[in-house]
Structures are given as C-alpha cells and as structure tokens.
Amino acid sequence: MPPLQENRMNATVAIPTTPTPSRLPGLLLSVVIALVALGLGKLAPLIGGPVFGIVLGILVRNTLAPGGSYTPGIQFAGKQVLQWSIIALGFGLSLNQVAKTGLESLSVTLVTMTVAFLTAWGLGRLLKVDDKLKILIGVGTAICGGSAIAAVTPIIKPDEHDTAFAISTIFLFNLVAVLLFPLLGHLLHLSDLGFGLWAGTAINDTSSVVAAGYSFSKQAGDYATIVKLTRATLIIPICLILAFATAWRQKKQGATDFSLARIFPWFILWFLVASAIRTAGLVPVAIQPALHLAAEFLIIVALTAIGLSANLRKMASTGARPILLGLGVWAAVAVSSLVVQLAIGQL
C-alpha cells in the first residue's frame, strides 16, 4: 500500500468542538456590583440592596455595555442564583410563627390578592400591557414585591427588561407607601392593629412594610411584619398555579417538547423543605443571621444580573403604561384592604 494512502487510513478524524463559554466573568461582575449594592442598602435601608442592585446593573449595562463574554455568567446569576435565593429565604421563615396571625389576616389577604390580579388583568388589557409584564406587576403588588417577581420569573420566563421594569414600578409605589401610609393612617384614626393589617396587606416589599408599620407605632409594626410574612408564603400556591397554567398552555399549543417536570418550579419544593427545617428548630439560632444575610445577598446578585440584562431602549419603548398599571393595582389593593376591614369590623 502506498505510504500516502496508509497515512490517510490511519489518520484520526478530528471533530471540531465548540468550547463551553465560561460563566466566571459575568458571575464575578454580578457579585462585585451586588457587594456594592449590599453596602448601599445598609446605608439606605428604605431603598434596600435589591433595588440598588438592579439600578446599578441597569446603569452598567447601558453605559459600559459588557461584552458577550459576560453573558453566560449574567444569565446564570439571573436564573439559577435567583432560584437559590428563594430556597435560602425558606430558612428564615418559621410557619408556626405566622400561623395565628395568618389566620386572622387571611380573609383580608385573599380579597386584596384577588383584587390585585383582577385589576392587573382588566387594567392591563385596557392599557395593552404585555401579558407577562401584567403577571409580574400583579404578583409583585399582590404578594411581596421583588421577592414574588423573583419567584415567578423562572416559571413564566419574561424578557429581562420586563422584569426590571416590574421591579422598578413596584419600588416606586413602595416608596410612596412608606411616606403616605402613616399620614393617612393617622388621618383615618386607624387603630394600631388596623393600621398593621392595612400596611401588611397593601404594601408590597417587606422592608417597606416594616418601615411604614413602625413609623405608625411599635404594635402596628409588629403586627404588620407578621401579616406580611404570612402573605409572602402565598407565593407557593401562586407559583404552582402559574406552573400548571404554563404547562396547560404549552400542551394546548401542541408543543412537541412539552414536559411538566421541566417547567415545574422545583425550587419551591426545596423552599418548603428549608422552611420545614426552620420550623422544626433544626436551624441553630447562632447561624440564622448569617443565613438571612446569605439569602439577601443571593437575591441582590440575581437582581443585579437582571439589571445587567435590561435594555433601557426597550424599557423606554414600553412607555408609561406599566407605571399606570402599577398605580392602578396598588390603589385598588390599598382601598380594598380598608373596605374589607371596615366590613368585618377590624378597623
């Protein structure tokens, strides 16, 4: 056999492979910005680290424009780290702690949640707001602000700028509520428990609930905080409902790769496991502050990554309609909470 032919037969065929892009640059960028946001959040707790994170992320994204090498890590932080943060929150929530107050406030909470979702759907259709953005604003207003938006994002998979817009909208009305609610509470001559129930069911973010509640009185602050924690647990059934609705829609559309197991929010089950561990007293008291800080930081990292993915041009093209939607939903929740309390004699 000629040498050339023999060499051809013995040669190993090299199949070109595409190297997996590294997540490290984008992840490091998210973590560094999140550390700055965490520090700023400690200096200005009324705003909070998560809001600083998403704002700083948006600023970096739209001024420095990180290159494509950062994209894999940013996407990882905005999805996987986001789910880890929700699981970590479970270690800070004892279900026994909120059971009694939760039952007392459940009727008001259920009404305000229903009002929030119906208003988001109806007003959103009137304003022609995108369906996923309607869900984000509705969930954020109905349950627990940025944390609720973070929890449903892996399920409905909105565009990053929609998530950023929803969180920014929720924050705007949180800030207004902190400044306005205590004044209105005194003008309406609300009792401590009445104001606590109003703040706990009508203000979105936990830090804003705490700020408004304790601005009114210590008793109102204590009550509002527990009501808010109870309200936050309702994100679990909401996530499950959204997961099944997404599955049903995909099946109806004839998706060939449809899989309930693939879209099911498994991180919510791990959240329940974490909460059960805390409820059973298996989390040492000494490490609870560290777990709380870890959960807070993971949320900041995830929201920073969402900010780094947000395109201000796309957000600007959305116009004022999401802001109007957020205002309408927030006002409807605030009024319905007072109306229900008046009807059942809790004011």
Q: In this predicted model, what pLDDT tens digit does every residue of 191-233 receive, in sequence order? A: 998 899 899 888 887 667 777 887 788 788 878 877 877 787 7
Which pLDDT score is estimated for 207?
Answer: 63
Residue 9 has a pLDDT of 47
Task: For residue 241, count CB atoms less than 10 angstroms from its CB and return exposed for 0-12, middle for 13-18, buried for 19 or more.
Answer: exposed
Q: Which residue has the higher pLDDT, 85 or 263?
A: 85
Look at the block and give the residue holding tokens 């259920």.
110
What's residue 257's pLDDT? 54
pTM over 0.95: no
CA distance 201 to 190: 15
Is pLDDT of 47 > 80?
no
Spans of all domains in the chain? 70-344
Statement: residue 75 has pLDDT above 80: yes
- pLDDT digit string, tens, across residues 287-327: 888 888 888 888 889 878 878 877 667 666 667 888 888 88
Helix H segments across the chain?
3-10, 24-43, 49-63, 71-76, 82-90, 95-127, 131-139, 145-156, 160-187, 192-202, 206-216, 218-233, 235-252, 260-263, 266-279, 288-309, 312-318, 321-344
Give the end-to-end CA distance of the chain in Å, rounded to a whole number.
99
**Site of tokens 């104001």:** 195
pLDDT of residue 60: 92
Name the average pLDDT for the chain: 79
The token pair at 60 is 């970096």
Tens digits of residue pLDDT in 248-293: 777 776 655 545 555 555 666 787 788 788 888 888 888 888 888 8
pLDDT at 240: 80
